[in-house]
Amino acid sequence: MIEAFASLGPYVPLLMEGASTTLLLFVLTLPIGLLIALPFAFARNARLPVLRGVGHGFVLLFRGAPLLVILFLVYYGLPQVPGIRQSAIWFLLRDPFPVALVALSLNSAGFQTHIIAGALRNVPANEIEAARAAGFSRMQLLRFIIVPHAIRLGIRSFGNEAVFVLKGTAVVSFITVRDLMSAANQVYFRTFEPVPPLLVAALVYLVIVLAVSRIVRRVEVRLTPELRMARSR
């Protein structure tokens, strides 16, 4: 086994390149997914049935469809649509990395829409009414009451979604993106040793998951007075 791990030496740069690609996909997917999710989350909670239907349909589609199906539809399906190859967005679809980012972001947006909409619905109504009675404007109500409280309610679920996004990046190797799993498989094909590169990949994923969990926990404590008081005791 030691000799097997020693054989990884020449392939460390390849594994590092794959890890950096995975980390880049992970870091970009979450904010892009959040930007996509925000309008659909507000639509999901809107009073108009049409808007609620749009928000619900978005969640149903991108939260329910498997990530691999979304990835293949974007990579193989969109280029078949008439006019796509002549459009301004073709530069995004002709390379696998942007396609992977689009698919991951849409999938994450479906889950984030559900998280944000649920957090917004669970903001205590008495706090909103008290803020209105105190003369808060709509923007002040969002900034000081609704958004902070919704973040506190949804931060744990967002942390879970971040972990799912990280794990989901492993499927992008199916469209020739050289991520961490793709790099580990290439090392296996060259050395005929499957265990060492996969263990290295698992260790990298674990380190990132632990870092994400720690960040989420610190943000939750910072935003929650009860947790700050409990920690200071």
Residue 169's pLDDT band, with cuts at 50, 70 and 90, is very high
> Mind listing the pLDDT tens digit for each residue in 73-129?
999 988 888 888 888 788 778 889 999 999 999 999 999 999 999 999 998 888 888
User: pTM for this structure?
Assistant: 0.90
pLDDT average, residue stretch 10-21? 91
Give the residue among 172, 167, 231 at the shortest CA–CA distance from 201.
Answer: 167
pLDDT surpassing 90 at residue 8: no
| Token code pair at residue 12 | 């460390």
| Long-range contacts of the stretch 14-20 (C-beta < 8 A, 24+) | 14/183, 14/186, 14/187, 15/180, 15/183, 15/184, 15/187, 15/197, 15/200, 15/201, 15/204, 17/178, 17/183, 18/178, 18/179, 18/180, 18/181, 18/182, 18/183, 18/184, 18/201, 19/180, 19/183, 19/204
86: helix, strand or coil: coil
211: helix, strand or coil: helix
> Mind listing the pLDDT tens digit for each residue in 62-74?
999 999 999 999 9
pLDDT surpassing 80 at residue 56: yes
Write the Ramachandran bin of 81: left for phi over 0, alpha for psi from -120 to 50, otherwise beta: beta
